Structure 1
Amino acid sequence: MNPARITLVTLGVADVARATAFYAALGWKKSADSVQTTAFMIGEAIVLSLWDRAEMVADGGEGDLPAGSGSMALAVNFDSPEAVDAFYARAVEAGASPVKPPKKAFWGGHSGNFRDPDGHLWEVAHNPFWRMDDDGRVDLT
């Protein structure tokens, strides 16, 4: 049996249009399958779903959920420290809140963190010990 493959990540957002504009500025493409309360943003290997937070809470059956708690982070890996710095700058220019500007990390790589406009934590990193395949995906085989 193959392990579960994550194909979609859903983020609860306060303003779908604002979140869509933010992620579009970072290179994600809005799918034609999007609706007013949910935007499906197409990435290289995963779809990012931006769902109206109130609808997500109502659908989940758990009551209100804390936004951007930091107990989970999404990450984008790059093949160089310069690519990390450029993406981080692009995110901040698009409206991200800087958390930790990219710098040399204690583990030998180069990384930084920002929060999207809804408080979701993102890490951008270059790990010199990992291989990236020709499509820019991390190859840990």
Structure 2
Amino acid sequence: MDPRITLITLGVSDLAESIRFYRDGLGLPMQEQEDDSNVAFFPLDGTWLSLYPRELLAEDATVTTDGSGFSGVTIAHNVSTKEEVDAVLAEAEAAGGRIVNPAQEAFWGGYSGYFADPDEHLWEVACPQLTDN
């Protein structure tokens, strides 16, 4: 296997709401979507993010949709400063996300916080190294 991640697909309950959150709220660039399409693609630096209806994603993977709670997966977004961590968390909250864990100095020496998107997918926003700026 060639070790790389090229696409992360999030199963969502309301595609239009999730597009508004990621494209309009967080400002992620979105590939043009066909009118009848039920998937959204966001080309990012080094990988792509896609949004797909949760029921259809479960059907494609041949699993049930009845799972709830923590799935054991988080997505991380690293930035360069504590101020950027705070700004991204504020941007996510303003876009309709929920702050799960406010930004704080982390036990591993950085600064991070978590938000949940409208479908409760967890994102960590982190500054790996604290700086004096």
Q: Same fold (TM over 0.5)?
A: yes
Which residue in the other structure is 2:9 paired with? 10
For the residues of structure 2 that align with 1:10 and 1:65, how far apart are their CA atoms? 18
Is this contact kept in 2: 1:110–1:125, CA < 8 A?
yes
Matched residue SS, 1:29: coil
Matched residue SS, 1:30: coil
Matched residue SS, 1:5: coil
Alpha-carbon shift at residue 4 of structure 1 (Å): 1.9
Q: 1:19 to 1:97 in 2, by over 3 A?
A: same
- Paired amino acid for 1:16: L
Q: Does 61-70 or 111-120 show the bigger shift?
A: 61-70
For the residues of structure 2 that align with 1:49 and 1:11, how far apart are their CA atoms? 6
Q: 1:98 to 1:70 in 2, by over 3 A?
A: farther
Matched residue SS, 1:62: coil
Alpha-carbon shift at residue 103 of structure 1 (Å): 1.0
For the residues of structure 1 that align with 2:113 and 2:66, how far apart are their CA atoms? 26
For the residues of structure 2 that align with 1:49 and 1:4, how far apart are their CA atoms? 20
Runs of 5+ consecutive residues of structure 2 not aligned to the other structure: none
Map Cα deviations across residues 35-94 of structure 1 (whole Å, 9 max, x no partner): 531111122222111001111111111222525524110000001111111001000110
TM-score scaled by length of structure 2:
0.88
> 1:110-125 counterparts in 2 under 5 A?
110-125=111-126
Is this contact kept in 1: 2:54–2:65, CA < 8 A?
no
Runs of 5+ consecutive residues of structure 1 not aligned to the other structure: 130-141
Q: 1:123 to 1:70 in 2, by over 3 A?
A: farther
Which residue in the other structure is 1:106 paired with? 107
Which residue in the other structure is 1:48 paired with? 49
After TM superposition, where is structure 1 displaced by more than 4 Å over at least 4 residues in a row?
none
| Number of corresponding residues | 128
Alpha-carbon shift at residue 5 of structure 1 (Å): 1.1
Which residue in the other structure is 1:19 paired with? 18
Aligned CA-pair RMSD: 1.8
- Paired amino acid for 2:103: P
TM-score scaled by length of structure 1:
0.83
For the residues of structure 1 that align with 2:32 and 2:84, how far apart are their CA atoms? 29
